[in-house]
Amino acid sequence: MKKIIAIASFAAVLLASCTSKSSTATSAIGPAVSTAEQIAQGKTIFESSCTRCHKLPDPTSHNSVQWVGIMNSMAPKAKLTDEQHQWVYDYIVSVKK
Protein backbone atom coordinates (compact mmCIF):
# COMPACT_ATOMS: atom_id res chain seq x y z
CA MET A 1 0.00 0.00 0.00
CA LYS A 2 2.84 2.40 0.89
CA LYS A 3 4.39 1.67 -2.49
CA ILE A 4 1.23 2.76 -4.33
CA ILE A 5 1.14 6.05 -2.43
CA ALA A 6 4.81 6.62 -3.23
CA ILE A 7 4.18 6.01 -6.93
CA ALA A 8 1.12 8.23 -6.90
CA SER A 9 2.97 11.14 -5.31
CA PHE A 10 5.87 10.67 -7.73
CA ALA A 11 3.41 10.84 -10.64
CA ALA A 12 1.92 14.01 -9.15
CA VAL A 13 5.37 15.63 -9.05
CA LEU A 14 5.97 14.60 -12.66
CA LEU A 15 2.62 16.03 -13.72
CA ALA A 16 3.31 19.29 -11.89
CA SER A 17 6.69 19.72 -13.58
CA CYS A 18 5.16 19.01 -17.00
CA THR A 19 2.42 21.57 -16.45
CA SER A 20 4.85 24.33 -15.50
CA LYS A 21 6.92 23.57 -18.60
CA SER A 22 3.99 23.74 -21.03
CA SER A 23 2.87 27.12 -19.68
CA THR A 24 6.09 28.68 -20.99
CA ALA A 25 5.70 27.09 -24.46
CA THR A 26 4.66 29.38 -27.32
CA SER A 27 1.00 29.35 -28.35
CA ALA A 28 -0.18 27.56 -31.51
CA ILE A 29 -0.89 30.67 -33.57
CA GLY A 30 1.88 33.23 -33.35
CA PRO A 31 4.50 35.04 -35.40
CA ALA A 32 7.65 33.58 -36.96
CA VAL A 33 7.19 29.88 -36.18
CA SER A 34 7.04 28.77 -39.82
CA THR A 35 10.04 28.07 -42.03
CA ALA A 36 10.55 29.98 -45.29
CA GLU A 37 9.24 26.92 -47.13
CA GLN A 38 6.02 26.89 -45.09
CA ILE A 39 5.56 30.61 -45.63
CA ALA A 40 5.93 30.03 -49.40
CA GLN A 41 3.23 27.36 -49.11
CA GLY A 42 1.12 29.81 -47.12
CA LYS A 43 1.36 32.27 -50.04
CA THR A 44 0.17 29.60 -52.50
CA ILE A 45 -2.73 28.60 -50.23
CA PHE A 46 -3.62 32.28 -49.66
CA GLU A 47 -3.70 33.02 -53.39
CA SER A 48 -5.71 29.92 -54.27
CA SER A 49 -8.11 29.51 -51.31
CA CYS A 50 -8.86 33.09 -50.33
CA THR A 51 -10.08 34.18 -53.79
CA ARG A 52 -13.04 31.77 -53.91
CA CYS A 53 -15.51 34.13 -52.24
CA HIS A 54 -13.96 37.59 -52.63
CA LYS A 55 -10.95 39.23 -54.22
CA LEU A 56 -7.58 38.59 -52.60
CA PRO A 57 -7.31 40.78 -49.50
CA ASP A 58 -4.28 43.07 -49.14
CA PRO A 59 -2.07 41.79 -46.27
CA THR A 60 -1.18 45.39 -45.40
CA SER A 61 -4.84 46.40 -44.97
CA HIS A 62 -4.99 45.01 -41.40
CA ASN A 63 -2.44 44.72 -38.60
CA SER A 64 -1.11 41.39 -37.29
CA VAL A 65 -3.57 41.37 -34.37
CA GLN A 66 -6.56 42.02 -36.66
CA TRP A 67 -5.34 39.22 -38.95
CA VAL A 68 -5.51 36.73 -36.05
CA GLY A 69 -9.26 37.40 -35.80
CA ILE A 70 -9.80 37.47 -39.57
CA MET A 71 -7.94 34.19 -40.03
CA ASN A 72 -9.93 32.62 -37.18
CA SER A 73 -13.14 33.34 -39.11
CA MET A 74 -11.80 32.81 -42.67
CA ALA A 75 -9.71 29.64 -42.18
CA PRO A 76 -12.81 27.48 -41.55
CA LYS A 77 -14.55 29.13 -44.55
CA ALA A 78 -11.56 28.21 -46.73
CA LYS A 79 -11.46 24.77 -45.05
CA LEU A 80 -7.83 25.15 -44.02
CA THR A 81 -6.15 22.70 -41.64
CA ASP A 82 -4.56 24.12 -38.48
CA GLU A 83 -1.16 23.94 -40.20
CA GLN A 84 -2.38 25.73 -43.34
CA HIS A 85 -4.05 28.34 -41.11
CA GLN A 86 -0.67 28.96 -39.43
CA TRP A 87 1.26 29.11 -42.73
CA VAL A 88 -1.19 31.54 -44.35
CA TYR A 89 -1.11 33.72 -41.21
CA ASP A 90 2.70 33.70 -41.16
CA TYR A 91 2.80 34.54 -44.87
CA ILE A 92 0.45 37.52 -44.36
CA VAL A 93 2.50 38.79 -41.42
CA SER A 94 5.75 38.30 -43.36
CA VAL A 95 4.44 40.51 -46.21
CA LYS A 96 3.72 43.36 -43.83
CA LYS A 97 7.31 43.66 -42.52
List of residues contacting ligand HEC (CB under 6 A) = 49-50, 52-54, 57, 70, 73-75, 77-78, 80, 88
- Identify residue 24 by its one-letter amino acid code: T
CB atoms within 10 A of CB 39: 20
Alpha-carbon distances of 57 from 9, 20, 77, 90, 92, rounded to whole Å: 54, 40, 15, 15, 10
CB nearer ligand HEC, residue 9 or residue 48:
48
CB atoms within 10 A of CB 71: 20
CB nearer ligand HEC, residue 88 or residue 93:
88
Residue 58 DSSP code: P
CB nearer ligand HEC, residue 74 or residue 93:
74
CB nearer ligand HEC, residue 39 or residue 80:
80
